[in-house]
Amino acid sequence: MKALSDPCKPASECPVTAARQFETVGVCILSWNTRASLMRCVGELIHHAGFAPRQLVVVDNASRDSSLQALRERFPEVPVIANRKNLGYSRGNNLGAAHLMARGFRWLLFVNPDVLLGPTAVAAMLDVLIADPTVGCVGGVPIRPGRSSSERAGRNRPALIDKLILYGPLAQLCGRWLETGHILRAREIRDGQSVYAIYGAACMFPAAAFAAIGGFDEEFFLYEEEFVIAERLHACGLRVAVTCATYLHDEAAGTRQIPFRRRIWFLQSEFRFLRKYWRWPLAACAAVAAWRILELAAFSWYYGFRAALAGIRSRAPLRRRDGEPCDAADASPGRS
């Protein structure tokens, strides 16, 4: 993976303040049927990022792929919360956050199991939060293996056309012509820059800010959580920020196993978000939902293809190639 061009500090130059605060960071990993990804994620956090097992908590949403057995065999010291059913993203992460806050962690890092996160990204996120108490959440730049500076880093508030096109299958056909105003690319950002919403595969909160907004909204099973968090933070006078630090992300390792079902979850969450947070009229929300249903019917072949592709990709899990770091800064002092 190529190092990105924008200047960020390598791990060796991270401020002493962030280094001293590192032990007060607690990490929540929410997992559902992602055994292989989960093992790599936890291993990377402990062996590469430098977290102690006690700083982590894995929340398992009733996986059926022996995830917990593998985790307990390989990382027996990592705390586990085993749910009897799939509680979804918000409830699952809130359980993990409660566990971490009860143990006194000042900073909460939420990491998807399909993420490989190195020390530079962690330090960069922590540095932004320490430097500015008005920041309630910070995220980095998710990098797909083999990609580089064109990666998406943050989001401005979407217009209606952005919401309809960029968050559906039509994005594959014409998204690049529409995303300029909504999507912020890695080359366009600077550390600590305010955005409407981040990409939430790896994000960090001050524990106090997370508690102040009531955590993740448990009315949302899955999807729209970055927008929900943005609205909740903004309502409390806090802002969302990005850092140019990068991390590897094998996107949707869990939910790509069920492309049709996850699309229904998205439709439900989008309707609830538009109604609850943007306060759209019921008729407008219903019109968007109708569009999504027509979209789902018209592109059923697309979701079938995604299901087949998921089966193939599950045999080729995320891994760092020889010499490819989790943090781009580990490869070059010029960029993280």
Q: Is residue 161 part of a domain?
A: yes
Q: Is residue 336 part of a domain?
A: no
Q: What is the pLDDT along the chain (336 residues), one digit of tens a residue?
A: 333 333 233 333 444 456 678 999 999 999 999 999 999 999 999 999 999 999 999 999 999 999 999 999 999 999 999 999 999 999 999 999 999 999 999 999 999 999 999 999 999 999 999 999 999 999 999 998 766 545 788 999 999 888 988 888 887 676 666 666 888 988 889 999 999 999 999 999 999 999 999 999 999 999 999 999 999 999 999 999 999 999 999 865 555 556 678 888 999 999 999 999 999 999 999 999 999 999 888 887 666 665 566 555 554 554 553 334 455 444 332 333
**Angle between helix 300-313 and 259-276 (nearest 10):** 120
Q: Is residue 319 part of a domain?
A: yes
Cα 108 to Cα 219: distance, rounded to the nearest angstrom: 21
- Counted domains in the chain: 1
End-to-end CA distance of the chain: 12
Q: Is residue 156 part of a domain?
A: yes
Q: Is residue 99 part of a domain?
A: yes
Per-residue tokens: 283: 């008729």
Q: What is the DSSP string of 148-208?
A: -TT-EEEEPPPPHHHHHHHTSTTHHHHHHHHTTTTEEEGGG--TTEEESB--TTEEEEEHH
Q: Is residue 5 part of a domain?
A: no
Q: Is residue 286 part of a domain?
A: yes
pLDDT in the model for residue 13: 41
SS3 helix, strand, coil % of the chain, rounded to 5? 45, 20, 35
pLDDT in the model for residue 18: 66
Q: Is residue 1 part of a domain?
A: no
pTM of the model: 0.84
Structural domain that includes position 320: 11-331
Domain with residue 291: its CATH number is 3.90.550.10
pLDDT digits (tens, 9 = 90+) for 296-319: 888 876 666 655 665 555 545 545
pLDDT digits (tens, 9 = 90+) for 142-192: 998 766 545 788 999 999 888 988 888 887 676 666 666 888 988 889 999
